[in-house]
Amino acid sequence: MSEPGGANKFAPALLLLAPVLLGGCASVRVLDAAQPGAPLIYAGTRLDWYALNGGCCPRDHFGAEAPKHPALDLPASALLDTLLLPLAIAAELGVGLQVRGGN
């Protein structure tokens, strides 16, 4: 059986996630930038941390602007960066995966 107001119990979490989703995830921003020399391993997490510690020039170091709310984005970026870690390590080592999509 469902609880009365069950859908409303997720409202606070959605309100907290909304700025992150609307502002863009740091991991996605760095991957999309594809700047030579930018960090690959935990790049989004590092971008968030850089912004939280008052880094002056995220575009120069990461090829992307930091999210507006890096503290809110940090957990999501850390999770995504962890999931992408094997690919980031392979790319850092120069292993070409030759991945192709569709026909």
List pLDDT tens digits, range 11-20: 666 666 655 5
Q: What is the pLDDT of residue 67?
A: 86
How far apart CA 35 and CA 79 sit, in angstroms, is 22
Kindly list the averaged pLDDT for each block of 10 residues, start to end, along the chain of length 103: 59 60 70 77 91 89 86 89 88 70 51
Domain layout of the chain by residue ranges: 24-93
How far apart CA 25 and CA 34 sit, in angstroms, is 15
Q: What is the pLDDT of residue 6?
A: 56
What is the pTM (predicted TM-score) of this model? 0.67
